Amino acid sequence: MSKLLRADFARLFMSRIFWIGVLFMAGFAGFIVFTRWSDMRAVPGYYCFADDIFLVGSMCIGIVIAIFTGIFIGEDYNSGTIRNKHIMGHSRTAMYLSNLITCSMASVIMHFAFIVVIIGSSVFGIIGKSRISVEKMAGLCLITVFSVLSISSMILLISMLIPKKSAGVVTAMIFSIFMIYIANTIDYRLSAKEYIQPYTFTVTNEDGTEQEIEQPLTKNPKYLTGTKKKIFQFFHDTLPVDQIMQICQTETCNTDFILSSLAVTVIATGAGILFFRKKDLK
């Protein structure tokens, strides 16, 4: 597999889409720093700290990974070079694992391109320094790295099983957008309060008079309980975008996330290898 890795990494560093991805993430970070810096100048009392935004890029990294992986793997299929690797004697498992390692490394580099720009802006005083310790920041970064790896493994599964480049990219993108949607939906349902607080509102009658209506304390139908809540919580702790969302919101180092990310990576990779080994490479 070392031969495959050597070739795949050489191709990665020659790949235009990889460098576009790195530049995009760095540029995105630069854009966020610029908007926060503008806000700091315009709004008195507002101050942006590095720890507020250094993981924001992880929320959208799935889409960037989807585009990169879809094109990188799709090129291998389109040009027929994936067949060539197999013809010269490389096993399908080795080919899959080599692609996993290459695409995962690329995803992590793109992830760090965002973080480095934010930290750099903080060091140069464009935004405020971090309020949390360096150790904690490193811990949070490490957890998100594992989340990024699990996103990468799921997107690789899609890209390796769809040989058409454009179809692979579109499917991977839809999947990553769907993951963001699921994360938001789960977060919204889990954060729903048990009761809706009493409130009053005013309505205007037909004769023009105004009437104040008082709404009493009511039970929230969106509030989750029992098994349903446990299922939602399980997915919230397991799905990578959900994990990143929680890390951004709470800034807590939950090491269980690493285990669940690893589990997702192993399952996605196992399934991918299983299907790829049976696939006809036309």
Partner 1 sequence: MDYVLKTNSLCKHYRNFKALNRVSMHIPKGAIYGFVGKNGAGKTTLIRLICGLQYPTSGDFVLCGVKNTDRKIAESRSRMGAVVETPSIYPGMTAEDNLKMQYRLLGMPSFDGIQELLKLVGLENTGKKKAKHFSLGMKQRLGIAIALCGSPDFLILDEPINGLDPQGIIEIRELILKLNRERQITVLISSHILDELSKLATHYGFIDSGRIIKEMSAEELEQACRKCIHMTVTDTKILARVLDGMEITYKILDEKTADVYAKPNFSQLALALSKENCEVVSMEEHDENLETFFVNLVGGANHE
Q: Which residues form the interface with partner 1 (CB under 8 A)?
A: 2-4, 6-7, 10-11, 14, 16, 75, 79-81, 83-91, 280-282
Q: Per the structure block, which two tokens stand in for 162?
A: 């769809």
> What is the C-alpha separation between 102 and 147, in angstroms, rounded?
16
Closer residue to partner 1 (CB): 16 or 41: 16
Element (H or E) spanning 35, and its range?
helix 16-42
Q: Shortest Cβ distance from residue 54 to partner 1 (Å)?
A: 34
Nearer to partner 1, 94 or 154 (CB): 94
Cβ closer to partner 1: 95 or 154?
Answer: 95
Closest distance of CB 12 from partner 1, Å: 12
CB of 264 to partner 1, least distance (A): 30
Secondary structure (DSSP) of 38-92: HHHHHSTT---BHHHHTTHHHHHHHHHHHHHHHHHHHHHHHTTHHHHHHHTT--H
Nearer to partner 1, 6 or 228 (CB): 6
Q: Are strands 195-196 and 210-215 parallel, antiparallel or unpaired?
A: unpaired
Distance of CA 16 to the CA centre of its chain: 22
Write down the number of H helices and E strands in the chain: 11, 4
Q: How far apart are CA 19 and CA 15, in angstroms?
A: 7
Of the two residues 11 and 189, which places its CB atom closer to partner 1 in the complex?
Answer: 11
- Which residue lies nearer to partner 1 by CB, 17 or 180? 17
Report the alpha-carbon distance of residue 209 to residue 203 in Å, rounded: 9
The residue type of 187 is: D
Minimum distance between the CB of residue 15 and partner 1, rounded to whole angstroms? 8
Q: How many CB atoms lie within 10 A of CB 139?
A: 17
CB of 18 to partner 1, least distance (A): 12
Q: What angle do CA 215, 208, 211 make, to 5 degrees?
A: 20
Q: Which is nearer to partner 1, 35 or 84 (CB)?
A: 84
CB of 6 to partner 1, least distance (A): 5
Residue 159: CB minimum distance to partner 1, A:
17
Do 49 and 128 touch, CB atoms closer than 8 A? yes
